[in-house]
């Protein structure tokens, strides 16, 4: 039995960390074999304005600091008060860890703060879950806004690209589809609110209630207004990163000049959704999402790939640098704390 349990644990770890690696490697392979790699490098070498990418990196750091400050408000409501630099380290470290071990970054930051502040892991973990639930809700709201702003170009692109996309557009435009969506939402609401003796429905209701409870506490804690302000700041910075990056290449800068902020918004939303795909730091799904978004507005695949790979490459390099700074800082902090305790 112990051997079987150990084997199942190893299999679980292999699937947990192996699947994202395979997804990233597979999508990158398809990406780089489907375009002219030399032409892409030539576009990067001759057309990229690195000043805009440096500005993008600065905005990224600000967004991470905002996230640290937002999480600090939630932790303070739980009587956990880590210093500001520890909160910043926890966010920087999260993204760095996720580059190597997908989804483990959130567990790492929970353990880091719990250990440093001598707090219960489950309490800190609950605040982290609420933090991520808030992001999920925010992405959904931004997606709805994007569909309102850019639905025309998106549907036109899908309709002009083959029978598959034409069928998909017809499906999305069907009133029966939206009627079915509304009915499903009503059924889900009834399922989560009706009183029943069914064990699995009661379990489902309890899970939904606990998740909502962890999220709803945000609106009852001290500092809710500041929390909402930081949320707007985080996602505003995320969008600004994409918008600023558009000025790094002439073809995306021209797109902004003629179409406004809508192309950047579409690329931002699709790339945000792509982060839900299991991968190492979004590598693979992120580029494909951005290439698809730029294709909607007529940007060629090689140009789009040059843009996507350069932007993601800069962001990844930034996370590596911040990760090195973070773990060096944590090591120094622990050494200093050990000296004080002596």
Per-residue pLDDT band at 165 (split at 50, 70, 90):
low
Average pLDDT for 258-272: 92
**Contact between 100 and 323 (Cβ < 8 Å):** no
Average pLDDT for 248-272: 93
- Better-predicted residue by pLDDT, 254 or 296: 254
The DSSP secondary structure of 118-131, one letter per residue, reads T--HHHHHHHHHHH
At residue 213, the pLDDT reads 59
**For residue 77, what is the enclosing H or E element?**
helix 50-77
Residue 83 pLDDT exceeds 90: yes
Q: Out of 28-37, 97-106, 237-246, which region has the weakest mean confidence (pLDDT)?
A: 28-37
Question: For the segment 290-334, what is each residue's pLDDT rounded down to a tens digit?
Answer: 998 998 898 998 999 999 999 999 999 999 999 999 999 999 988
- Better-predicted residue by pLDDT, 162 or 122: 122
Domain boundaries, the chain: 46-341
Per-residue pLDDT band at 339 (split at 50, 70, 90):
confident
Q: How many distinct helices (H) and strands (E) make up the chain?
A: 14, 0
Per-residue pLDDT band at 151 (split at 50, 70, 90):
confident
* pTM for the structure as a whole: 0.81
Using CA atoms, how far apart are residues 37 and 32, in angstroms rounded to an integer?
6
Side-chain-side CA neighbours of 276 within 13 Å: the count stands at 10
**Contact between 288 and 31 (Cβ < 8 Å):** yes
Those residues whose C-beta lies under 8 Å from the C-beta of residue 271, and which sit 6 or more positions away, are: 242, 282, 286, 289, 290, 293
């Amino acid at each position: 039995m112990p051997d079987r349990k150990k084997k199942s644990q190893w299999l679980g770890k292999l699937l947990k960390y192996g699947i994202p690696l395979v997804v990233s490697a597979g999508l990158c392979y398809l990406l780089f074999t489907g375009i002219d790699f030399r032409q892409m490098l030539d576009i990067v070498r001759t057309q990229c304005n690195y000043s805009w990418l440096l500005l993008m990196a600065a905005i990224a750091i600000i967004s991470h600091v905002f996230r640290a400050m937002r999480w600090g408000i939630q932790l303070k409501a739980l009587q956990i008060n880590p210093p500001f630099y520890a909160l910043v380290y926890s966010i920087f470290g999260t993204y760095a860890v996720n580059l190597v071990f997908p989804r483990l970054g959130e567990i790492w930051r929970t353990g880091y703060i719990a250990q440093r502040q001598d707090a219960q892991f489950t309490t800190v973990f609950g605040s982290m879950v609420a933090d991520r639930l808030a992001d999920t809700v925010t992405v959904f709201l931004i997606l709805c806004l994007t569909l309102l702003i850019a639905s025309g170009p998106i549907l036109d692109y899908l309709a002009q690209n083959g029978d598959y996309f034409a069928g998909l557009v017809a499906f999305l435009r069907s009133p029966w589809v939206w009627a079915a969506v509304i009915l499903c939402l009503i059924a889900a609401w009834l399922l989560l609110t009706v009183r029943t003796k069914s064990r699995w429905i009661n379990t489902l209701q309890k899970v939904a209630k606990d998740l909502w409870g962890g999220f709803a506490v945000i609106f009852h804690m001290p500092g809710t207004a500041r929390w909402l302000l930081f949320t707007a700041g985080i996602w505003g910075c995320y969008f600004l990163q994409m918008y600023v990056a558009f000025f790094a290449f002439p073809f995306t800068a021209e797109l902004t000049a003629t179409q406004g902020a809508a192309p950047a918004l579409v690329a931002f939303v699709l790339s945000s959704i792509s982060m839900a795909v299991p991968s190492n730091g979004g590598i693979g799904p992120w580029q494909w999402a951005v290439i698809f978004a730029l294709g909607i507005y007529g940007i060629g695949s090689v140009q789009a790939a040059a843009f996507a790979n350069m932007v993601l490459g800069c962001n990844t390099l930034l996370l590596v640098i911040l990760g090195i700074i973070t773990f060096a800082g944590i090591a120094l902090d622990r050494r200093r704390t050990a000296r004080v305790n002596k």
